[in-house]
Chains A and B, each alone.
Chain A
Amino acid sequence: MTQTCPDRALALQAMLDDELDPLASAALEDHLRGCAGCREAYARAKQLSILLRGSEMHGIAPAHLRARIEALAGGEAASPARRRPRPGAMPWLGGGAIGALAASLALLLAVPMRPEPILADEVVSSQIRSLQSGHLVDVETSDRHTVKPWFNGRIDFSPPVVDLASQGFPLVGGRLDVLEGRTVATLVFKRRLHTINLFIRPKPASAHDAALARQGYAIEKWSADGLEYWAVSDIPAHELSNFHRIFAEESRK
């Protein structure tokens, strides 16, 4: 392992965390060009970061806990002095029937996901390719009424197009892509500085919803109304699952 410069360690980390001001960033980039040790340290830290973010540690709160917490917001506050039953001892006491219902719902949602490794790799490659080539969209507009007709005649199905700008996912545009040798519709959304590619194709015979991760990219896959959706992005998995939920809701309207 090459020697790193100890006095640069915190600045390197700040650059990785996007916390370094532009002037200091420029100076550090200059230093990195000449210092193999720091370059290596930076690459290592970056890989660790990708590994952590792509890991399966983005769990969601248990359904019975969510039911109890949401009940708090129902308009009435629980007295802070009230002692709730310990969840370990009597898990359902707080939520009763809904707890059970929510739990069975959660079970449904958490049905073991059948990984679809090859296609998952393919959508990630598509995502990376689109970012690298700068060919993000064929039709660039946030107006869904422009994007939707643009797909007419180019593909033999009609994907729902919604702009989710008010929910923090502005529509950037659309393009055609190829998955498994077939042309698919791709909608491109932004989340802060990150890009979300949403691949849409007619639903194949066997399809399961799934949340996957590849090389630090989060993937959400679902199907509705005969179409199958693959959302890929480098945003945290839970944000992508929010995107999934919002998109599904809006496209149903």
Chain B
Amino acid sequence: MTRWRRSPWLGLTLSRERPRAAGNGSASRFASLILPHLDSAWRYARFLCRDDAAAEDIVQDAFERALTAIDQCRGDPRAWLFAILRNCHHDAARTSARAASTGSDDELAGLVAPDDQHNLAEMADLRQVIEALPEPFREALVLRELEELTYRDIAAVTGAPIGTVMSRLARARQMLGVSLRDGDAPDRKRGEA
């Protein structure tokens, strides 16, 4: 059944015949609980995939799954959405050649050069530096520092015990290895002036 959306032109461009998978109640629950986290989800997805097109795919996938399963949403909606997003990423990685990094934390950490120290000047592309981290460390760092999830929520999203989350976070921060000497920090604001 095709329904008109709020405005006619929206309806015109978007109303395609689609099977209904969720009722109106679900849709409004989805709109109020999940939709506000689109930007967050997008940021997390970009760091997971390290590729914008792939990130768009998994975000779309995750929101579709979230809508279908909205009745099962418990706890923090964003953490719930992130867990779904992460599953979508791993599913996508499995079907494509883009394999998610596997191996123990120690093995993965070993892939990063131990003396990989960056100073602030090299941090210009902070994103690149973070993207270079192996996935378990990268996602712990992103969820904590950029999305400000609690340890408990990061554990829920990543399906790891809190202790593991804490040690991954510590390793991630250590791997970023920022040597911020006293003289470095002001460069950032002066550099823009």
- List A residues at the B interface (Cβ < 8 Å): 9-10, 13-14, 17, 19, 44-45, 47-49, 51-55, 57-62, 65-66, 68-80, 82, 84, 86-88, 95-98, 115, 117-118, 121, 214-215, 236, 238
Interface membership of B74, Cβ < 8 A: no
* A52 and B18 within 8 A (CB): no
Interface membership of B113, Cβ < 8 A: no
* A80 and B64 within 8 A (CB): yes
Of A19, A71, A73, A75, which contacts B150 at CB under 8 A? A19
Question: A47-B178, A61-B38 given as contacts; is B14 within 8 A of A77 (CB)?
Answer: no
Least CB separation from A96: chain B residue: B13
* A10 and B170 within 8 A (CB): yes
Determine how close the nearest CB of chain B comes to the CB of A153; give it in whole angstroms.
36
Of A13, A19, A73, which contacts B27 at CB under 8 A? A73
Determine how close the nearest CB of chain A comes to the CB of B167; give it in whole angstroms.
7
Looking at A10, A58, A75, which has the most chain B CB atoms within 10 Å of its CB?
A75
Determine how close the nearest CB of chain A comes to the CB of B118; give it in whole angstroms.
11
Least CB separation from A117: chain B residue: B193
Interface string of B44-81 (1 = CB under 8 A from A): 00100000110011011001110110000000000000
* B63 and A72 within 8 A (CB): yes
Interface string of B153-193 (1 = CB under 8 A from A): 00000000000001101100100101010000100110011
* A52 and B166 within 8 A (CB): no
Question: A70-B35, A87-B56 given as contacts; is B65 within 8 A of A80 (CB)?
Answer: yes
Which residues of the partner chain B approach A80 to less than 8 Å between Cβ atoms? Answer: 21, 64-65, 68
Determine how close the nearest CB of chain A comes to the CB of B55; give it in whole angstroms.
9
Interface string of B127-148 (1 = CB under 8 A from A): 1001000000000010011101
Which residues of the partner chain A approach B46 to less than 8 Å between Cβ atoms? Answer: 59
* A73 and B57 within 8 A (CB): no
Which residues of the partner chain A approach B146 to less than 8 Å between Cβ atoms? Answer: 52-53, 57-58, 236
* B39 and A60 within 8 A (CB): yes
* B30 and A72 within 8 A (CB): yes
Looking at B56, B68, B141, B167, which has the most chain A CB atoms within 10 Å of its CB?
B56
State A251–B120 Cα separation when bound (angstroms). 41
Looking at B151, B170, B173, which has the most chain A CB atoms within 10 Å of its CB?
B173
* A61 and B21 within 8 A (CB): no
State A70–B2 Cα separation when bound (angstroms). 16
State A176–B184 Cα separation when bound (angstroms). 34
Interface membership of B110, Cβ < 8 A: no
* A53 and B145 within 8 A (CB): yes
State A71–B27 Cα separation when bound (angstroms). 10
28 A-B residue pairings within 8 Å (CB atoms): A9-B170, A13-B166, A14-B151, A44-B180, A47-B180, A48-B173, A52-B141, A54-B188, A57-B126, A59-B39, A59-B42, A62-B56, A71-B5, A73-B67, A74-B5, A74-B10, A75-B5, A76-B18, A77-B64, A78-B21, A84-B60, A95-B13, A98-B10, A98-B14, A118-B193, A214-B189, A238-B39, A238-B40
Determine how close the nearest CB of chain A comes to the CB of B123; give it in whole angstroms.
7
Which residues of the partner chain B approach A115 to less than 8 Å between Cβ atoms? Answer: 192
Question: A69-B38, A76-B27, A78-B18 given as contacts; is B127 within 8 A of A57 (CB)?
Answer: yes
Interface membership of B24, Cβ < 8 A: yes
Which residues of the partner chain B approach A13 to less than 8 Å between Cβ atoms? Answer: 166, 169-170, 173
Interface string of B1-45 (1 = CB under 8 A from A): 111011001101110001111101011101100010011111100
